[in-house]
Chains A and B, each alone.
Chain A
Amino acid sequence: MRSRQKAYLAVLLSPGALWLLFFFITPSLLIVVYSLLERKDGGGVIWSFTLDAYIKLFTPNEGTFINDFLIIFLRSFWWATLTTVICLLVGYPLAFYIARQKPSVASTLLFLVMIPFWTNFLVRTYAWKFILNNNGLINTILQAFDFAPWSLINTPTAVLIGMVYGSLPFMVLPLYASIEKFDFSLVEAGQDLGATYWQVFTRIFLPLTLPGIAAGSILVFIPTVGQYVVPTILGGGKVAMLGNILAQQYGSALNWPFGSAIAVVFMVLLMGGIIIYFRIEQEQEI
């Protein structure tokens, strides 16, 4: 490389790289350090090494092999999985339908998916609170017809509805992108070779749209597993997820090392999952 090109590269690269180094990588590493320090009353840490936070996180309740925090871990991953599966079951046929329309219709429908995608997440979650609340729309209607009120808010169902609602566009858009690229003459080729509809779907269509399924699932799963807004607004703090206990440890409980330990374990699990996913993907490509 010519030396002037090196200078040009340095000018281009260093501001962004330094910014991320200072304001992203350093804070992330700081969390790892904090998780190994002692708790200070009133927030913050005392700079002496201890494994207390991790011991607390992994010590089961007496007589069991689990504790409240681990239950929340399991619940968050389970709900994120449920949300992803529901979004996939609704989103895949929706994306397929859109991809099979005339370009003008398809672009309109796609636009209709984009609008919620760009709309404020908080507002969309609040919309459901407005509907599901005890004095919300459903109960107002029920009351008007003298039915008994239906307590929906602050239940796992409400949280799941909110999460599916928030995530659906994130599933549909990548799915659409991969279905749209699909060459439909392959379906005819498959049928020509004697494949049934079901075989065409499972042996040709599904494998070739797998990248879209994977991308959509990641885009839904990861934000959902760390959800804070939905369980807070629609779960009312009664249905806690990982985001809630993280916020709690950094907020009212003021146990920063413990909060950091939760964040570290959370990230290790997520990153582990992502790395395994990419390994599998790479192997399949070969």
Chain B
Amino acid sequence: MDNQFLTWGKRLLWLNMLFSFLFLYIPIVILVAFSFNDSRLGARWEGFTLKWYVEMFSSDAVLSALSNSLIVAFTATTIATILGTMTAVAMERFRFPFRKTFDGILYLPVIIPDIVMGVSLLAFFSLLTSIVNGALGLSGNDSIRPGLVTVIIAHISFIISFVTIVVRTSLKDFDKSLEEAAQDLGADEWTTFRRITLPLIAPGILGGALLGFTLSLDDYVITAFTTGPGGTTLPIEVFGRIRRAISPEINAISTLMLMMSMMLIIISQVVQRRSAKM
């Protein structure tokens, strides 16, 4: 009886696995397949075409949204990675007053639902711009308004935490005596960091940066609340189109975004393998 129980258990586990993966992948596969469907309306298969891709790449709105997304992701990730790495080193290598409190604060942007962060930044930026505009006597078209810059600032604010968490993990795994050995051999703090710590936690930093980059490309909610004229990113553009209707063009843009995610996954896997080898 026991053996029967085990066999059935194994079968159920296998079935659960199969259905889970079907559930996870069927929608994505359908999405990609119908981006090649030669029909503007609905989900009836009418034959293969690439015209939605041609249309996508000739749409100014899509292209400018794509470039905005990349600008935001690159800028925000770069700045957040530098700040996050510095913060991580400070947290892992030093004891200082209010360290515990700051530790808690660092986790908040990860925990807080994006919608709350979005509205609070909206309120903050509107107050900030009105103060700045008032001080500089700007009004109308000259006034400073939210846009790409505020989006970048907002993205940095939540990416910092993710980068810090990832880098701290690799610093925790890091054998502290390596840093002591470097100092023992005559390296000061900065040389030790540059020659020993940085190369060894580089995979962690890169991992954190890739996560940040993905989150930035992915984000709709926080961007929607902090953007303004000229600050339309790809998710903003796509969301607007989805609300109107489903269309093969959206499938094509979605496939493009899927490809970008895929590239990032592959890069992150390669980075992980490399660091595992070391």
Contacts and interface: CB of A to CB of B under 8 A. Distances in A.
B205 interface: no
B14 to A, nearest CB: 7
Interface string A85-119: 00000110110111000000000010111111011
A165 interface: yes
Interface string B108-130: 11011111110111111011000
B27 A128 contact: yes
A269 B90 CA distance: 32
Given A13-B86, A24-B117, A136-B246, 9 more contacts: A20-B160, A24-B109, A31-B123, A93-B12, A93-B17, A120-B257, A135-B42, A267-B112, A270-B111
Contacts of B258: 119-120, 123
B42 A122 contact: no
A12 B124 CA distance: 26
B30 interface: yes
A24 B108 contact: yes
A34 B154 CA distance: 19
Nearest to B9: A197
Nearest to A133: B246
A209 to B, nearest CB: 15
Given A26-B124, A112-B21, A246-B115, A123 B14 contact: no
Contact of A259 (B111, B119, B238): B119
Q: How large is the interface on A (under 10, 10 to 19, 20 to 34, 35 or more residues)?
A: 35 or more
A256 interface: yes
A247 B82 CA distance: 32
B113 A137 contact: no
A144 B2 CA distance: 48
Contacts of B28: 116, 119, 124, 127
A30 interface: yes
Nearest to A91: B20
Nearest to B239: A122
A9 B239 contact: no
B27 A165 contact: yes
B227 interface: no
Interface of A: 4-5, 8-9, 11-13, 15-17, 19-20, 23-28, 30-31, 34, 43-44, 90-91, 93-94, 96-98, 109, 111-116, 118-124, 126-131, 133, 135-137, 139-140, 144, 165, 168-169, 197, 218, 222-223, 225-229, 232-233, 242-243, 246-247, 250, 256, 259-260, 263, 266-267, 270, 274
11 contacts: A12-B86, A12-B90, A19-B160, A20-B160, A24-B108, A31-B116, A111-B269, A112-B21, A113-B24, A140-B43, A233-B239
A111 to B, nearest CB: 7
A17 B265 contact: no
B243 A263 contact: no
Interface stretch (B52-60, B169-177, B212-220): B212-220
B78 interface: no
B30 A135 contact: no
Contact of B246 (A129, A168, A169): A129
B16 A12 contact: no
Nearest to B119: A250
A161 B130 CA distance: 42
Interface string B95-115: 010000010011011011111
Contacts of A126: 31, 238, 242, 246, 250, 254
B119 A260 contact: yes
A68 to B, nearest CB: 18
B190 to A, nearest CB: 8
Interface in B148-172: 153-154, 156-157, 160-161, 164
Given A15-B83, A119-B261, A123-B254, A23 B154 contact: yes
B27 A127 contact: yes
Contacts of A20: 105-106, 109, 157, 160-161
A222 B113 contact: yes
Nearest to B113: A226
